[in-house]
């Protein structure tokens, strides 16, 4: 690629370097978002804590603007809370938030599968392959990413893209809880057997049974996280 040779002071140089800066800023704020999320999950940023933007910008070695962009996005996903005049606070992982968020996918996913209908042979083969990889992984982040991919493959033929978009939003909002659980318990959880049951029903041409098994799969994810959140609340009470 031939880049124009422009000198500073030239108007075109200013426009060009402004474009470059906005590209750099977008990727900076994206990596800042990932880093902040990791800090929340690791407990480096405690629930309820006010985020000191000056310190955090220094720690991540970025300027305030991409940091603000990252915090803004995290606040729309519900991981931090912006309070006017006070700045941003780390949102606590509460039992109540969690229960409400987790009750949504048992409703949405089976509805989307019903609309998608029975999958093609080739799609079933991809689901089986993904599930084998999921059963093998020992890495929490990989397990969550593969599980999301499995469910999106299952719902691939769903004609209602708004519904699939809502499911993806819910995936983003529960990721924090799932990662935190797996890190804290040092156990990589997966629902490989639930997935096998869904695929078996689809192979038998029984969409009703597949939707029921999918609903069960979505409900099964809730109990271990609730138990863990409850144990954290007990720990918090006993240490204060
Ligand atoms: Zn799953």
What is the Cα–Cα distance from 159 to 155, expressed in whole angstroms? 9
Candidate from 77-91, 118-132, 203-217 with smallest mean pLDDT? 77-91
For residue 191, the CA-to-ligand 1 centroid distance in Å is 5
Task: Determine which helix (DSSP H) or strand (DSSP E) holds 89, and give its type and residue range.
Answer: strand 87-90
Q: Is-contact 21 69, C-beta < 8 A?
A: no
Backbone dihedral angles phi then psi of residue 82, each to the nearest 5 degrees: -90, 125
151 CA to centre of ligand 1 in angstroms: 6
C-alpha 218 to ligand 1 mean position (Å):
7
158 Cα: distance to centroid of ligand 1 (angstroms): 17
Q: For the chain, give the mean pLDDT.
A: 84
In a domain, 225, yes or no: yes
The answer to whether position 138 is within a domain reads yes
C-alpha of residue 195 to centroid of ligand 1, in Å: 6
| pLDDT, tens only, 6-32 | 555 565 656 666 666 666 666 888 888
Expressed in angstroms and rounded, the spacing between residue 150 Cα and the centre of ligand 1 is: 7
The helix/strand/coil state of 7 is coil
The structure tokens listed for 235 are: 């720990």
Residue 2 in any domain: the answer is no
Q: What does the pLDDT look like over 77-106, one tens digit per residue?
A: 778 999 988 999 998 767 787 888 889 999
135 shares its domain with 225? yes
Q: Please, is 238 exposed, middle or buried when counting C-beta atoms within 10 Å of its C-beta (0-12, 13-18, 19+)?
A: exposed
Calculate mean pLDDT across residues 225-238.
71
The verdict on 229 and 151 lying in the same domain is yes
Query: In which band, very low, low, confident or very high, does the pLDDT at 209 lie, cut at 50, 70 and 90?
Result: very high
pLDDT of residue 56: 92
Q: Are residues 45 and 20 in the same domain?
A: yes
Could you give the CA distance from residue 68 to residue 32 in angstroms, rounded to a whole number? 10
Ligand 1 centre distance from Cα of residue 234 (Å):
29
**Which of 57, 90, 123 is at the close of a domain?**
90
Helix 53-60 vs helix 11-42: crossing angle, to nearest 10: 100
Range of the domain at 132: 95-239
Say if residue 165 is in the same domain as residue 82. Answer: no
Quote the ligand 1 centre to 192 CA distance (angstroms): 7
Task: Looking at the structure, tell me whether residues 185 and 132 fall in a common domain.
Answer: yes
Burial per residue of 8-21, b for 16 or more beta-carbon CB atoms within 10 angstroms, e otherwise: eeeeeeeeeeeeee
| Residues 41-58: tens digit of each pLDDT | 667 788 788 999 999 999
85 and 105 part of one domain = no
207-210 contacts, C-beta under 8 A, 24 or more apart = 207/113, 207/114, 207/117, 207/118, 210/113
Residue 83 CA to ligand 1 center (angstroms) comes to 35
Q: Which of 71, 90, 109 delimits the end of a domain?
A: 90
């Amino acid at each position: 690629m031939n880049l124009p040779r422009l000198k500073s002071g030239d108007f075109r140089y200013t426009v060009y370097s402004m474009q470059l800066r906005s590209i750099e800023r977008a990727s900076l704020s994206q990596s800042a978002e990932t880093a902040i999320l990791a800090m929340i999950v690791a407990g480096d940023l405690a629930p309820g804590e006010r985020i000191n933007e000056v310190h955090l910008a220094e720690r991540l070695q970025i300027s305030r603007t991409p940091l603000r962009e990252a915090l803004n996005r995290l606040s729309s996903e519900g991981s931090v809370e912006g309070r006017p005049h006070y700045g941003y606070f780390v949102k606590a992982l509460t039992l109540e938030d969690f229960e409400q968020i987790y009750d949504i996918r048992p409703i949405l996913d089976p509805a989307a599968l019903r609309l998608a209908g029975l999958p093609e042979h080739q799609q079933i083969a991809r689901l089986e392959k993904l599930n084998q990889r999921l059963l093998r992984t020992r890495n929490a982040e990989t397990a969550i990413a593969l599980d999301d991919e499995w469910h999106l493959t299952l719902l691939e033929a769903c004609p209602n893209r708004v519904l699939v978009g809502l499911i993806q939003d819910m995936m983003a909002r529960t990721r924090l809880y799932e990662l935190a659980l797996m890190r804290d318990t040092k156990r990589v959880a997966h629902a490989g057997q639930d997935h096998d049951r869904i695929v078996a029903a689809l192979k038998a041409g029984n969409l009703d049974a597949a939707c029921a098994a999918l609903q069960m799969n979505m409900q099964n994810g809730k109990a271990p996280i609730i138990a863990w959140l409850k144990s954290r609340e007990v720990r918090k009470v006993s240490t204060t």
